[in-house]
Structure 1
Amino acid sequence: MPATHWKPTRRDVLRSALFLALGDAIVGRTVFAQDATYPNRPIRIIVATAAGGGIDAVARTVGAKLQEAWGQSVIVENRPGGNQTIGTNHVAKAEPDGYTLLCISSTHTMISGLMPKLPFDPIEDFAPVTMLAYGPNILVAHPALPVQSLGDFIALAKSEPGKLNYGTSGNGSLGHLAMESLKSMTGIELTHIPYKGAAPALNAVLSGEVSVEIVQIMTALPHVKAGRLRALGITTATRSPAAPDIPTIAEAGAPGFEGSSWFGIVAPAQTPPAVIAKLNEEFVRIMNLPDIKTRFLSEGVEPVGDTPEQFAATMRDESARWGKVIKDMGITIQQ
């Protein structure tokens, strides 16, 4: 018996097209409705480091304001480990619905250069929301170290090659790369002691377990003012209004040195543009609140609150810049 071949009639084609159009419309209305009611349940802000560091403080500060404004619980959750890859990967793989966010620092744009075999792409797998704030770091020393300036420290390090050490919040952190840059620029030899997070690293320099450390200004400044740490230099190209007596590292003995920090919010890639826009609008409003601006500026950190497009450009530029530094210095992290 000969095979028969079904040919769709014009009516069949029109009916199929109508069903597809209706399906698209229903899906579109559903997505729009979800976006319009966002947020209607708790939001989590993931911090990929241990509690107690600058990024943790920033996340909790803006998280509290977000909860106050939207009337939904905002939970800041620390997921440290794996040089920040555990918490970061969790958000990269999360549902892109705006209910799981990641608070990042400049370290986020360095990680691909240090660890090429990542389970996520630090740029492509995230939707930038906004840069929250920008600020310098401070090179601090334990008061027992017999130095009063960066010049003194360089001279001491050169007289005792490899005997002095420095602490960081972990391999591949900004503090690590900045100190390695300083070593290269000044010709000194120091031993790197990585810790599991900013808080234990800070405790190490406070106790004298390590000689020096580069610490975010908002974390270091209270200890400097109290005399528990001695400031040797600040990492920005110009002095900080919050600490005008602290010279820049560039002017104090390492011309051209710069290594600043920033903090920002990202969401999983494919998060609806309407949700990103709503998050951006609210975070920008928060960063412009008088009490937030006063608090951040007093701690040496400048509130930013830019657009998603501006933050995306910064992330790409920083990734390229630090990628070159990492390659030139030959720094890698074992995976």
Structure 2
Amino acid sequence: MKHLVKSAVVLVAAVSVAVGVFTVQTVSAESSWKPEKPINLVVPWGAGGATDGVSRQTAMVLEGHLGQKIVIVNQPGASGSVGTKNVLDKPKQGLYWTAGAVKDLGVYKVQGLLDTTLDDWHLFLNFAIPNVVAVNADTPYKDFGELLAAFKANPGKIKVATAGVNSAGHTAIEMIKSYTDIDYKHVSYEGGNPAVIATVAGECEVVPQLAKEEVVMLKAGKLRALAVLADAPLSIEGYDQEIPSVKQWIPDFVTAPIYFGIFVPKGVPDEAVATLTEIWNKSLVNDEGLKKFAAQNAMIFDPAAGDVAMKKAFPMVQLDAWLKFDSGDAVVDPSTIGIPRP
């Protein structure tokens, strides 16, 4: 894989198990769009994973601003494309949204999973979350170097649990493979939380999912973190070691922030987009509850909407799209759908 432009993710997060306390402030100009029916927020991944968790917490805050219930609907399948297609096909009234990692939404067409691109969506970002390579605590691997050596000594035998092709975890292990030429046995689950639980149970040895999905089991001593896919180490309150950067073993490793958010299909009423944009820029950005939630779960709280959101999230879309193309997992050349190679 040709290495891409560096975009550092520096996360030094204070983590605890408690759920954040949320505050809702009133924004006077938000009255331009008040949905008359509950909004359906389709989470295209299983319950308990990172997308599910950050979507539920963000929805709690948005309900107060919109004066309407937001119903979370988990609809996993085909690496998130099933639930996303469901929203894309609904009437454009502003009552159906989806959520997830922008990099997933951006590469569905590259993989032939769904005929959509980022140009079809309004992006509303909430958090950026890093991947952490962790292992079952009973495995012998004490650091990432030992794990790499084991991969090379046992090609195709060490089981790696992820939330499926196109998930953050699968992208992470494929990125590592592109730099090291390791081989592994991929075991796919319907979400990041099931992948973590499977690793804790001993079904797999390794899980490279998102930090938020691993925090509880790391603190409980059921998982051991070996490396964070970021430019700097990651510190987690309640976990007794600083997680070193993958660059300690792969100095030229390039990564970018994995941004999550809520996605609204284009074609909805302009006043709906304007209202959400105002909420994001004037209220959500200052929400103390969401800030606390981020700190508790090894995440960066970095809300953004519109062009700013696209600029923040696009580097990881490029990285993932070209990773898949260079490894032969793409059916569409990214450059033909507006994703240039950096």
TM-score bucket of the superposed structures, by smaller chain: 0.7 to 0.9
Give the distance between the partners of 1:193 and 1:45, measured in 2 at CA: 28
Q: Which residue of 2 aligns with 1:140?
A: 134
1:26-175 pair list within 5 angstroms: 36-105=32-101, 106-115=103-112, 118=114, 120-128=115-123, 130-175=124-169
**Consecutive unaligned residues in structure 2, runs of 5 or more:** 1-30, 332-342
How well do the aligned residues superpose, as a CA RMSD in angstroms?
2.1
Instruction: Tell me whether 1:303 sits opposite 2:318 in the alignment.
Output: no
Match of 1:223 among 182, 195, 217: 217
Query: Partner letter of residue 126 of structure 1?
Result: W
Structure 1 SS opposite 2:166:
coil
- Name the CA shift for 1:254/1:208 in 2 (closer, same or farther; >3 Å): farther
In structure 2, what is the equivalent of residue 32 of structure 1? none
Contact 1:123 1:315 in 2 (8 A): no
Task: Give the structure with the larger helix fraction.
Answer: 1
Aligned with residue 251 of structure 1, among 248, 269, 280 = 248
The alignment status of 1:201 with 2:198, answered yes or no, reads: no
Query: For residue 23 of structure 1, what is the aligned residue in structure 2?
Result: none
Asked which structure has the greater CA Rg, the reply is 1
- TM-superposed deviation, 1:322: 2.2
Q: CA deviation at 1:260?
A: 4.3
- Distance (Å, rounded) in 2 between the aligned partners of 1:261 and 1:248: 16
Aligned to 2:275: 278
Q: Distance in 1 between matches of 2:98 and 2:211?
A: 22
Distance 1:322 1:215 in 2: 15
Deviation at 1:188, TM superposition (A): 2.0
The unaligned stretches of length 5 or more in structure 1 are: 1-34
CA distance in 2, matches of 1:66, 1:305: 13
Q: Which amino acid aligns with 1:74?
A: I
3-state SS in 2 of match to 1:306: strand
- 2: CA distance, partners of 1:171 / 1:254: 26
Task: State TM-score, norm by structure 1.
Answer: 0.82
What's the counterpart of residue 267 of structure 1?
264
Q: Secondary structure at the match of 2:233?
A: coil
% identical aligned pairs: 24
Figure out how many residues of one structure are paired with residues of the other and give that number. 296
| Aligned-pair CA distance for 1:92 | 1.1
Following TM superposition, by how much is the alpha carbon of 1:64 offset from its aligned partner in structure 2, in angstroms? Answer: 1.4
Deviation (angstroms), 1:112: 2.0
Task: Please tell me the residue identity of whatever aligns with 1:312.
Answer: M
Residues 134 and 207 in structure 2, CA contact (< 8 A), matched pair in contact too: yes
Residues 97-123 of structure 1: CA distance to partner in whole angstroms, max 9, x if unpaired?
2211111213222322222x63x3132
User: TM-score with structure 2 length normalisation?
Assistant: 0.80
CA deviation map 1:269-307 (0-9, x unaligned): 112332112112224423421122012122111111113
